[in-house]
A and B are shown apart, each in its own frame.
Chain A
Amino acid sequence: MKLSKNFVKDYVDVDVDIKTLAEDMTNVGNEYDEAGKLVDATKLVVGEVLTCDMHPDSDHLHVCKVDVGKEVLNIVCGAPNVAKGQKVIVALDGAELPGGVKIKKGQIRGQESNGMICSLSEIGIESKFQSEEDKTGIHVLPSDAKLGEDAVKAMGLDDEIIDFDLTANRGDLLSILGMAYEIGAIYDKKVKDIDLSHKENGEDINKTFSLDINTDNCKLFLAKRALNVEIKESPDFIKNRLLASGIRPINNVVDISNYVMLETGQPLHFYDADRLKGKIEVRMAKENEKLTTLDGIERNLSKDDIVISDGTRPIGLAGVMGGLDTEIEATTKNVIIEAAIFDGVKVRLTSKKIVRSEASNRFEKGLDPNRTYMAAERACTLLEKYANAEISKGTVIYDKTEKEDKEIDVTLENINSLLGSNIKLEEAVDIFERLGFKTKSRGNLIKVKVPRRRLDIDIKEDLIEEVGRIYGVNNIEGKLPVVPTVPGNYDRNIRNIRNKMIALGLNETLSYILLNDKEVNNFTTDKFEPVKLLDPMSEDRNTARYTMITSLFKIYEYNADRGNKDVSIFEIGKGFYKHGEEYGEDLKLCVLMSGEFYTGINSKKEVDFYIIKGIIEELLDSLGYENRYSFVVPKEMSKDFHPGQTADIIVNGKKVGIIGLVHPEISENKVFVSEINLSNLLEIKTGKMKYKEISKFPSIKKDIALVVDKNIESLEIAKVIKKAGGSNLSNIEIFDVYEGKGIEKGKRSIAFSLTFSNSDKTLTDEEINPILEKIVDMTEKEFKAELRK
């Protein structure tokens, strides 16, 4: 909402400068974006073009002699419309124009130029507010403008503006009157009455005009009639105030509807009465009903749109936009004035589809029915005065609203206990009176009558807020209930994990959870339904991730593209899924390592499977899972992993994560990743019972490395090992895959760590060795595997 200081001064005396007003309004809760002059320029005066000749060395410049009162200036002007006898805006030597332009004496192609004749654009008026002529050249002032006078003043643009960024609950401030009450409360000034006086003659409108309201979404509808209007340009003060408020002047009648909306906050709609059939009906639109709105677009309506009809056809979308057929034109003679209250939610939904406007915004925020009556009368006053209208007797009324003040009780104890303040009764009463609320107090109880214009006030807490606002919240002393934070167990674990990873030398990242639905199944074979957005901002962010590996791999790619090859990162975040009708999310830790990694001061190592595995082991050990985890060949593995260098992370027999190498087809550089589902892991208690089970008979670990053909999958070998190992082989881990030096070309070495245990006894080497021999025999038979020495 742009507040014109000249405009609001009609209703309340403000004598502070614009910056002070803006700051004082901020302190009572009304933030602003900008505050300053409407025309932010200096040294602009009225001049008269005495002579205007073509520049000798140019085909478009003119050399003018311009009388600016005290002197006659030589000015070179490039505008096509400059002519002898015009009154014009002259920027004198030293003038400052918007955008930091400074005017200096000088020469233009050899001709002296001691100022500038200005267009409206040059003094900062946006082109949408300008006439076609003004858009193409300099602005011509009326012939009675006084030479040498301040040109901004002569145009009536000597106004100051505050552009407020209002909170959603203060619909009342979308009006000059509302602003006047707010300013009046701050400076303790009374708000002046609005002039509603006008004559009413002839036949009562109710005799020839009927109203039919067929929806609950219209609670109040008033219609008045103005006859024989004279359509012309608005007087300057109306045009200037509309312009200052950001609304384009059109003609006197249309401008008056906007002017009254600005004053009262009540949007109005004017219809050409001769194009209506003597009737207005308000109802919900039919599905696929058509209406051409005044922007010339044919709209397809739905049953959620409130529509105005004249009984034969739709003539307007209530609160949003009128119809083309019945709009005010230069030839319009008679006008029907509509002042109504439509349901804010419905108006919002319709306006979102069509266009959001000054009017729809006010319907959304809510309106005071008293103002609806006021606005209808005010429009008549101004139409009579500035369009020579004859107002018909009477008003057509449909009204289901409450208009009397809201009575709310509040006690001094209520106020002081919620604010923690020490405000006196007289102070509180005074604040209410300044806000224009009537009060009655008995003891410490204050009965407050709140006018309907304050739609935001319903309960005593709202009144307490008013007291706090005007009293000044910064005048209330803070006190301390300060207490330390106690992290819960869950949080403590997360914090430990984060600290551990940082201590191990990894950088923590923060990635977006939203990705393309095509990526959601990368790096996983888990079965889930992806979580998709109904209305995404883009295809690339239309689904919530399931595994974080995708997120971290993107970060790796981003860095690799920028030449950062050494990437060792982790993130703790969520993965999302749907199972049946249930939505769920799991907390996960994801680690990604590639390139060189600092393993100690001044010691770097190329990341391999061992290094990332070591990091995960350290983490699990530090969380108390020592001896309870293993890295096992996956039963099923995503194609995005290297089949030979990937393992499931098992804790107490349950899969909690994965660790492995990104498939070489996805990344040429070696990128190792691991993800642990912390929601699952942290549920696995480090409790005593399980610990005993495991410690009863110690297990024995044996490592073997087999050299096999490169294309034989480690998973297949593991299956055979498992078969050969029998019931005493409790776990198989792959801990290294190697090819290169020392290994015959076309072959690779896969190292397995085998765990043997028996629930009834401690196994001895004598019992285990024959099993190992059997494993070697069987893998040799199946894969021609050789034991690596």
Chain B
Amino acid sequence: MGYTVESGPELETDRFCFELLNLPQGHPARDMQDSFYITDEYLLRTQTSAVQARTMLANEEKTPIRMICPGKTYRREDDATHSHQFTQAEGLVIDKNISLADLKGTLEIFAKKIIGENSKLRFRPSYFPFTEPSYEVDVSCFKCGGKGCNLCKQTGWIEVLGSGMVHPNVLRMCGYDPDKYTGFAFGLGLERIAMFKYGIPDMRYLYANDVRFLSQFDR
């Protein structure tokens, strides 16, 4: 039983993007991600997490879930480290007896594959409305390996992931009984990783599409 690759609409409804993810109207965390609304109801999705809710509702508690979902997301910000359009990948696992230790183990493998065989992870408690507990995950610096350098601002760590155990409210709203099921979710910004991995100073370069720049990444 493996992970399935799921996708969902980029033009999302408030319900899937926020409500079902434990972000009711007026929740202060909605400020963290000022959104592009089309109408009161529709918006360009701010996070691939919207697909979490869709997948859970579609499964109706019948089966465990193991899915990943890469996709475009949109927020009202534009500067060197933020682009109003960016790409996220989201992972979700729901089953009986899923624990934080499973999340840690999964992300450790994930980091080794995506970032490098010698990468180490550091978990920092954090806050996301749709997970409880929540963690930000740092990876040992791509450049210095953890000794400290300019890239990691001398800390040896670079923040790459948000993760946590799926909030019981989210499980309940999406049709899973939180007394029977637990799960974990994680999400990461792919441009951010590309920037660190290839030493790209400005996220907007990724969207300029200079063919000479593009062909540097061939195959």
Cβ of A531 within 8 Å of any chain B Cβ, yes or no, is: yes
A418, B182: Cβ atoms closer than 8 Å: yes
Q: How far is the CA of A583 from the CA of B16 in the complex (A)?
A: 15
A474 proximity list for chain B (CB < 8 A): 122-123
CB <8 Å contact, B38 and A168? no
Query: What 1/0 flags go to B157-188 for Cβ under 8 Å of A?
Result: 00000000101100000000000001000000
One digit per residue, 1 when the CB lies within 8 angstroms of any chain B CB and 0 when it does not, for chain A 355-379 equals 0000000001100000000000000
Asked if B61 is an interface residue, CB under 8 A from chain A, the answer is no
- B132-A462 in contact (CB<8A): yes
Q: A585 and B210 in contact (CB under 8 A), knowing A168-B29, A418-B165, A461-B168?
A: no
A-B CB contacts (within 8 Å), total count: 206
B10 beta carbon closer than 8 Å to chain A: yes
A29 to B39, Cβ gap below 8 A?
no
In the complex, are the beta carbons of A364 and B126 less than 8 A apart? Answer: no
Given contacts A168-B32, A514-B85, A555-B209, contact A485 B104 (CB under 8 A): no
Taken residue by residue from 37 to 65, chain B's Cβ proximity to chain A (1 for < 8 Å, 0 otherwise) reads as 11100101000000000000000000000
Q: Is A483 part of the contact surface with B, judged by Cβ < 8 Å?
A: yes
Inter-chain contact A490/B93, CB cutoff 8 Å:
no
Closest residue of chain B to A460, judged by CB? Answer: B168
Residues of A within 8 A of B106 (CB): 478, 480-482
A608 to B182, CA, bound (A): 57
Q: What residue of chain B has the Cβ atom nearest to residue A26's Cβ? A: B124
A569 adjacent to B168 (CB under 8 Å): no
When the two chains form their complex, are residues A533 and B38 in contact, meaning their CB atoms are under 8 A apart?
yes
Residues of chain A in range 29-50 having any CB-CB distance to chain B below 8 Å: 29, 31
Q: Quick one: CB contact mask for A471-491 with B, threshold 8 Å, 1 for yes?
A: 001101111111111111011
Bound complex: CA A476 to CA B108 (Å): 13
Complexed CA–CA distance, A574 and B108 (Å): 33
Q: Which chain B positions have C-beta within 8 A of A29?
A: 124-127
Which residues of chain A are near B10, meaning CB under 8 Å?
513, 574, 576, 585
Whether A508 touches B214, Cβ cut-off 8 Å, given contacts A29-B127, A536-B36, is: yes
| A313-321, A556-564, A721-729: which lies at the interface | A556-564
Pick the contact of B37: A459, A534, A555 (CB < 8 A).
Answer: A534
Judge if B116 is at the interface, Cβ distance under 8 Å: no
- Which one of B127, B134, B214 lies within 8 Å of A569 (CB-CB)? B214
Number of interface residues of B (CB under 8 A): 71
Cβ of A354 to closest chain B Cβ, rounded Å? 16
Q: Which of B105-132 contact A (CB under 8 A)?
A: 105-109, 122-127, 132
* Complex Cα spacing A31 to B135, Å: 12
Q: Is residue A509 within 8 Å, beta carbon to beta carbon, of the partner chain?
A: yes
Question: B residues within 8 A CB of A536?
Answer: 36
Within 8 Å by CB of B76, from A537, A555, A574, lies: A537
- Return chain B residues, CB-CB under 8 Å to A462: 132
CA–CA, A789 to B66, complex, Å? Answer: 63
Q: When the two chains form their complex, are residues B100 and A485 in contact, meaning their CB atoms are under 8 A apart?
A: no
**Cβ–Cβ contact B209 & A478, under 8 A:** no
Q: Which residues of the other chain, A, contact B122 by a CB distance below 8 angstroms?
A: 474
Contact A170 B127 (CB under 8 A): yes
Known contacts A421-B101, A465-B125, A574-B10: does B218 contact A507 (CB below 8 Å)? yes
Q: Known: A168-B32, A513-B72. Contact between A479 and B133, CB under 8 A?
A: no
B80 within 8 A of A: no
Q: Are A420 and B125 in contact (CB under 8 A)?
A: no
Please state if B37 and A512 are interface contacts (CB–CB under 8 Å): no
Could you list 21 A-B pairs, sorted by A, with CB under 8 Å? A31-B124, A170-B127, A344-B26, A348-B31, A364-B28, A419-B99, A421-B100, A465-B134, A473-B124, A476-B104, A477-B104, A478-B106, A488-B6, A502-B218, A533-B37, A536-B36, A558-B209, A562-B210, A569-B209, A574-B72, A585-B9
Given contacts A365-B28, A469-B133, A559-B211, 16 further A-B contacts (CB under 8 A): A26-B124, A27-B124, A348-B28, A417-B97, A421-B99, A461-B133, A477-B101, A486-B3, A486-B4, A487-B4, A488-B6, A491-B7, A510-B207, A513-B10, A558-B210, A566-B211
